[in-house]
Chain A
């Protein structure tokens, strides 16, 4: 589904050259739920933006669902993004001018679907995330959890092959976070490929596989479900010297 080989990303300004990703190689298979962890500034977000075709990379290869993304122009990248990728952001990023329905409508519009088809897809996804009763609400009229559900609905409505989530529970309280996490897991059980960036080891542990990034390089940790438990969290804390 997602393959990066020896990928590097260098940010250049007049005075500074920052290597955000170096020799980055990773593969996410279809139907996997991968958690990407790492300290601040390690390159997590850069990885996500490149994976989501929001940014170009400096060198290396990136194959998305069998498509070589090198040298694609803005139109082609936008189209790939629209068809294959769904984004879930930490701060939801719902468009405040639009109500829930119209927010979910946005990616379908850019895909150029007909009205009836759009309505059908939107109704379907609303039921899936349990927001059917809030269709006409504006983002400002909803709780954080509801907003994130709407955002997930927007990410899912186009039936993407790959769901990219950036700290999806970062702005939510524990209870709401659990609800959102359960939703993601349900989606995964339904066959979705999910890549989730998080710095929360507990959340990361719920994923099928963890990928750890440090200084733009990958440190892969196989985290089978059996490892979920007190011990492994303690181990992580020791290993990276930071409190979870």
Chain B
């Protein structure tokens, strides 16, 4: 019977080709708009490191105290008034304490890379100064070689891990372990080449959370970067600083972050008390003149706290779902009109032996077919919308390069379900028509 109902609905579409076309278009546009924003939202709110996001933590500590620099500074403050980065002093202290099984301090910088091949021009590469644990902690895959070791960290060894892209550019994709890269005029020895790795959102580098083009290409030991006075990209100071590199290291300026892996609830508790104790010790030593204020957030909490999902996207999700609601109300109304206009036919069918369920099935198949067509059109609009939305992120964002199978399945399911839901009331109304209706009204 399904085939029969399906052919009947096609026939009914053909008879009202304009009306049907507009309904499909309306549903399609609604689905397209909401799926576009939902896809973006899902990408932005995605878990960048599934399976580990609950075990990776970043500590924060209040090294500013209750300073109030006028109303203008509110723009730069977080909800709990904690700085979002750490001072060099605190980062190094946390590393020395070894309070977590794995831990890595880090900061973002840029290096000037001079290719060995003199025909190639020098170029700037985004770089990250960090510790050996970074790679194991974040499950970074390696194509060649391996990360440097904790001994290398201690020895400030001039080693470097590069990405596959940079390896392709500098060494034509060959195994470059042991070869030399010249950065900022100094030689560095390659110890490892990373395989493709691109957690999104990039939780440890929220200034470049979604821009694949801004991803670090070079990783070098933090200790060495400090020794070579390689400056951080971002730096925020609210207290006076003296002149020179040593003054910067000793200052209350914030420009580093620390990530730690805490595998058990007990280790999380232990790290929290370590942080509190550290804060108290700083107060006792006279560095802080205010109550200790620390925080320890895992990846998910951190992303929520830093409001990685842009307000624009939240707004658009709301708007597009309201829009979808209008499109569905519209489809519901038109389907109601369409089915009601056909009540005569329905009662004839009833007289010819169709039971209520058969009528319901026919109407539901018709609205479902409409929904499926709307879903197909909506998928097209989704692709179009994602193209348009590229402007929200930047062209190179991986968020928008592919719509994955799950998103497509969701789009189709939402479309068919909502249209069938919208078709359900009119169908039910149609199936309730008295078979004698046609006789009585003639």
Evaluate contact between A97 and B355: CB separation under 8 angstroms.
no
B residues lining the A interface (CB < 8 Å):
1, 4, 8, 11-12, 15, 344-345, 348-358, 434-436, 438-440, 442
13 contacts between A and B (CB under 8 A): A54-B351, A54-B434, A54-B439, A78-B354, A89-B439, A93-B351, A95-B348, A95-B349, A97-B12, A97-B345, A109-B4, A110-B354, A111-B353
Evaluate contact between B436 and A107: CB separation under 8 angstroms.
no
Contacts of A154 in B (CB 8 A): 352
Asked if A45 is at the interface of the complex by the 8 Å CB criterion, the answer is yes
| Measured CA separation A98–B15 after assembly (Å) | 10
A residues 46-72 near B (Cβ < 8 Å) are 48-49, 52-55
Contacts of A79 in B (CB 8 A): 353, 355
Asked if A91 is at the interface of the complex by the 8 Å CB criterion, the answer is yes
| Measured CA separation A111–B426 after assembly (Å) | 25
A residues lining the B interface (CB < 8 Å):
45, 48-49, 52-55, 74-75, 77-79, 81-83, 87, 89-91, 93, 95-98, 106-107, 109-112, 154, 158, 166
| Chain A residue at minimal CB-CB distance from B355 | A78
| Measured CA separation A45–B436 after assembly (Å) | 9
Evaluate whether A93 and B438 lie within 8 angstroms (CB atoms) in the complex, with A78-B358, A109-B1, A112-B1 already known. yes
| Measured CA separation A120–B357 after assembly (Å) | 27
| Chain A residue at minimal CB-CB distance from B5 | A109
| Measured CA separation A83–B1 after assembly (Å) | 17
The listed residue with most B CB atoms (<10 A of its CB), out of A52, A79, A110, is A110
Evaluate contact between B344 and A78: CB separation under 8 angstroms.
no
Evaluate contact between A107 and B356: CB separation under 8 angstroms.
no
Evaluate contact between B351 and A52: CB separation under 8 angstroms.
yes
Evaluate whether A106 and B440 lie within 8 angstroms (CB atoms) in the complex, with A74-B355, A78-B355, A98-B11 already known. no
Give A95 Cβ to nearest chain B Cβ, in Å: 5
Evaluate contact between A87 and B357: CB separation under 8 angstroms.
no
| Chain B residue at minimal CB-CB distance from A106 | B352
Give B197 Cβ to nearest chain A Cβ, in Å: 59
Evaluate contact between B15 and A97: CB separation under 8 angstroms.
yes
User: A166's contact among B4, B12, B348, B439, by CB below 8 Å, is which?
Assistant: B439
Contacts of A98 in B (CB 8 A): 11
| Measured CA separation A52–B435 after assembly (Å) | 10
Evaluate contact between A87 and B356: CB separation under 8 angstroms.
no
User: B353's contact among A83, A89, A91, by CB below 8 Å, is which?
Assistant: A83
Q: A79-B355, A83-B353, A97-B15 given. 6 additional CB < 8 A pairs?
A: A52-B351, A54-B439, A75-B356, A93-B351, A93-B438, A111-B353
The listed residue with most B CB atoms (<10 A of its CB), out of A48, A54, A75, A89, is A54
Evaluate whether A81 and B12 lie within 8 angstroms (CB atoms) in the complex, with A54-B436, A75-B357, A166-B439 already known. no
| Measured CA separation A107–B434 after assembly (Å) | 17
| Measured CA separation A112–B361 after assembly (Å) | 14
User: A74's contact among B15, B344, B352, B356, by CB below 8 Å, is which?
Assistant: B356
User: B439's contact among A48, A95, A97, A107, by CB below 8 Å, is which?
Assistant: A48
Contacts of A53 in B (CB 8 A): 435
Evaluate contact between A106 and B355: CB separation under 8 angstroms.
no
| Chain A residue at minimal CB-CB distance from B345 | A95
Contacts of A89 in B (CB 8 A): 348, 438-439, 442
Evaluate whether A78 and B434 lie within 8 angstroms (CB atoms) in the complex, with A54-B439, A89-B442 already known. no
Contacts of B436 in A (CB 8 A): 49, 52, 54-55
| Chain B residue at minimal CB-CB distance from A52 | B351
Give A156 Cβ to nearest chain B Cβ, in Å: 12
User: A107's contact among B12, B352, B438, by CB below 8 Å, is which?
Assistant: B352
Contacts of B12 in A (CB 8 A): 97
Give B366 Cβ to nearest chain A Cβ, in Å: 12
Contacts of B352 in A (CB 8 A): 81-82, 87, 106-107, 110, 154
6 interchain residue pairs of minimum CB distance: A82-B353, A78-B355, A54-B436, A49-B436, A54-B435, A107-B352
Evaluate contact between B11 and A107: CB separation under 8 angstroms.
no
| Measured CA separation A112–B355 after assembly (Å) | 12
Contacts of A82 in B (CB 8 A): 352-354
Give A203 Cβ to nearest chain B Cβ, in Å: 18
| Measured CA separation A210–B442 after assembly (Å) | 23
Contacts of A91 in B (CB 8 A): 442
| Measured CA separation A75–B359 after assembly (Å) | 12
| Chain B residue at minimal CB-CB distance from A164 | B351
Give B126 Cβ to nearest chain A Cβ, in Å: 64
Contacts of B4 in A (CB 8 A): 109
User: A55's contact among B344, B353, B356, B435, by CB below 8 Å, is which?
Assistant: B435
Contacts of A55 in B (CB 8 A): 434-436
Give B17 Cβ to nearest chain A Cβ, in Å: 13
Evaluate contact between A81 and B11: CB separation under 8 angstroms.
no
| Chain B residue at minimal CB-CB distance from A87 | B351
Evaluate whether A75 and B355 lie within 8 angstroms (CB atoms) in the complex, with A93-B438, A109-B4 already known. yes
Evaluate contact between A93 and B348: CB separation under 8 angstroms.
yes
Evaluate contact between B439 and A106: CB separation under 8 angstroms.
no
The listed residue with most A CB atoms (<10 A of its CB), out of B12, B356, B436, is B436
Contacts of B350 in A (CB 8 A): 54, 78
Contacts of B8 in A (CB 8 A): 97
User: B442's contact among A75, A77, A81, A90, by CB below 8 Å, is which?
Assistant: A90
Contacts of B439 in A (CB 8 A): 45, 48-49, 54, 89, 166
Evaluate contact between B349 and A106: CB separation under 8 angstroms.
yes
Give A18 Cβ to nearest chain B Cβ, in Å: 13
| Measured CA separation A49–B438 after assembly (Å) | 10
Give A123 Cβ to nearest chain B Cβ, in Å: 19
| Measured CA separation A74–B438 after assembly (Å) | 18
| Measured CA separation A175–B371 after assembly (Å) | 49
